[in-house]
Structure 1
C-alpha cells in the first residue's frame, strides 16, 4: 500500500480557526477536534467526500484524505490538505496535538480508530489527552446559512416536482416498487439522488412507519404512504404524503383526518422560542383526543440539512429551542396493525416571525 504524502503549503502563522469554531471548542473543553463525521467534514472544509477523510480542527486545521482525492481536495477544501493513508496521517498530526486536549466525535468514531489515535498520540513525552465529545459541530449545523436554506429549498422543490409527476401513477394494480422507481428516476434525470430509501407502503403495510417499497401490488380502496426526499448538491429534503386509491373505508378516513388535523396544528405552532417537546405535544395531544395516542409510534420530527436526520429534535423529551434558520420536519403518523397507517410530513423553515412551509405538494382531501 502506498504511503505517498503530499501537503499543501502552510498558510502562515495566523490561525485559520474562526471565532465561532473556537468558541465551540472552548464550550466542549478541548483545544482541538478530530472530525470523523462526513457531514461535519463537508460543513467545515467544503470537501464533499468526507467518508474518506478526517479533519483536524485546530489552530491550523488540516484535511486528511488519500491520493484518490488529491485534485478534489485542492479544489474543494478551504483548509490545507495532507494526502496519505493511516498510519501516516496520524503520524503527521501527532506533533500538532502534543500536550493538547483533543476531542473526538463519539457518535461517529469507531472503537478501532480510537485505539489507533491512542497508539499514535499518547505514546510520546507530551501525550495528547483524548476527550469524548458529542454534537460539537452538529449543534452549529442546526442553524442554516442563507446559502444552505437555498439548497434545501431547491431540493424540496425538486421533490415536489417529482411527486406531482408520479402522483397520477399511484393506482390499483401498480407495484409499490414501481412508484419508488419513478420517483427516483425523476430526481436522477434532474441531477439529484434519493435522500434515503423511499417508503411506499400500501394497504396493511401502511402500519410500518419505514415500509420500504416492496413488490406488493397496490389494491383498490387503500391508502398509500409515500415518504421520500431529494439529495441535491449535498443537501436533503424530506416529505411524506398519504394518498387514497379508490374509496378507502371510513376508518381509514378517520385516521387520515386525525393525522391531518395534528399535522396542521403542529405546523402552525412552529416559531422561534418553541421547543421540540412543545411541538411534539401539540400533535400528540390532538391524536390522543382521537384515541390514537398509542398509534403515534415515533417523534414529531427532526432537522434536515447535510444529513436527512439531524438536530434539532422534535420529540417528547426534547428541550431543543427553535431559532430562525433552522429547518425541521413535522410528521405525525398513526399506525394500526392489520388496518394500515397514515403519515403526513412537511418541511418547515423557522423564520424571524414564525415559519415558512417549504413543501408545496397538495394533501389529499378525504
Structure 2
C-alpha cells in the first residue's frame, strides 16, 4: 500500500522535474510512510527514501514504516537531513510550504545544498482519492459515530447542559472504538443553534429548543464527520419549515453526487433550494468538504469547488440555515463517491427526531 503511494509520488515528482521531497507534516508524512507518530521527517528521492526520527520513535518507526530505511538522528536535524539530501543526489527539493515556518525555511535554505521549491499540494492531491483500506477505516469511523448518536438520543433531555451532552457523546465515541475526536464536538441549543460552530457551554437545553450535534471520531488515523439537528418537544411551524427545507436541500444534493460533476455543481443544487424558500441569506458556508486523514481536506464542495468528483473521494453534504437570535438547522452525511453515483456512509436517520 505505502510502496504504491511512494511510486505515485515519484511519478508526480518526475512530471514536475523534482528529484526530492521533504515531508514533516504529520498527515502527508504518515500517509506516504505508514508511521502513526509525529515529529519525524521523510525524504523521498527518485530511487530511495529515508525516514528520519529521534530516539523516542525509533522502535515505533521500525515496526510501522515498511519499504523505507529508518534512521535515528542526534544533534542538529538539519545537518542530518542535508547529509541525506546529498546521499540521494537531490538537487531540487520540494517542501510543504504551508507547514514549514519562515524561520525553519531560512534555516534549511542556509544548510541544504540544494534548491528548495514549494510542494504545491502534491501529496494532498494524491490523498483526494481514497484506496480500499482508507475507505474501510472511514466507514468504521462513521459507524462508530452512528452508534454514539443512538446512545445520545437515549441521554439527551431538557435540563441537561450542552457540556453534559458533549461529554456523554464523546464517551461513546471512544467507548465504541474511536481513537480520539475528529474535531471538538459541537453541541448548540436554542438560539445558539444558529452558530454554525457553536461549542458546548453550560447553557441548559430547554423544551422547544433545536439542538445541533456535529461530531466525529478517528479510527486508524481516519476521520468521520456527521451532523444531526433534533427537537426538544414539538417544534414551531417555522422550525418545521426550515428543517424540511434543509432536509430537502441535503437529499437533493446527495442525489447529484457522481463522478464527473464538480463540488460547485453539488453545492448549487442545495443552495438553489434554500434560496427558493427564502433562506439563502442564512446559508453562508460551503455545502461540504473532503474527509480523510484530516476532517477538512480536499475536495471543496462549495461555489469555489473546482475539483471534479472521482470514485473513491469522500465528502460531506451539510447544508444549513442559521437565523440569528432564533435557531439553526444543519444536516450532514459523510458520502463516498462511487463508480456510478454515491454511497452514504452516515446511516443515522435524518427525519426530524422529537424528544
Question: Same fold judged by TM-score > 0.5?
Answer: yes
CA distance in 2, matches of 1:33, 1:175: 49
Unpaired runs of 5+ residues, structure 2, are none
Work out the number of aligned pairs and report it. Answer: 346
Whether the aligned pair in 2 keeps the contact of 1:244 and 1:364 (CA below 8 Å) is no
Q: Report Cα offsets for 1:192-212 as digits up to 9, x if no partner.
A: 121110000101111111111
Find the aligned partners of 2:294 and 2:264 in 1 and give their Cα distance. 21
1:357 aligns with 2:348: no
Q: Which residue of 2 is the match for residue 52 of structure 1? A: 39
For 2:328 and 2:341, locate their aligned partners in 1 and report how far apart those are by CA, in whole Å: 30
- Deviating above 4 A after TM superposition, structure 1's stretches of 4 or more consecutive aligned residues are 15-18
| 1:33 has 2:24 as partner | no
Residue aligned with 2:111, SS? helix
Q: CA deviation at 1:169?
A: 1.8
Instruction: Pick from 264, 283, 287 the counterpart of residue 296 of structure 1.
Output: 283
Q: Within 5 Å, give how 1:91-170 maps onto structure 2.
A: 91-96=82-87, 100-121=91-112, 127-170=113-156
Task: With the length of structure 2 as denominator, give the TM-score of the two structures.
Answer: 0.93
Q: 1:230 aligns with which of 202, 217, 231?
A: 217
Q: Cα distance 1:291–1:27, how it changes in 2: closer, same or farther (>3 A)?
A: farther
SS in structure 2 at match of 1:334: strand
User: 158-167 vs 101-110, which deviates more?
Assistant: 101-110
Q: CA RMSD in A?
A: 1.7
Range moving further from structure 2, 27-36 or 128-137? 27-36
CA distance, structure 1, for counterparts of residue 258 and residue 269 of structure 2: 13
Q: In the alignment, which residue of structure 1 is the partner of 2:233?
A: 246
8 Å contact 2:147–2:176 — kept in the other structure?
A: no
- In the superposition, the TM-score normalised over structure 1's length comes to 0.91
What is the CA distance between 1:73 and its match in structure 2? 0.7
CA distance in 2, matches of 1:359, 1:351: 15
Can you give the 5+ residue segments of structure 1 that lack an aligned partner in the other structure?
1-14, 122-126
Greater shift in the superposed pair: 33-42 or 89-98: 89-98
For 2:309, the equivalent position in structure 1 comes to 322
Distance in 2, matches of 1:362 and 1:343, equals 13
Task: Choose from 62, 69, 75 the match for 1:80.
Answer: 69
Q: Distance in 2 between matches of 1:165 and 1:111?
A: 46
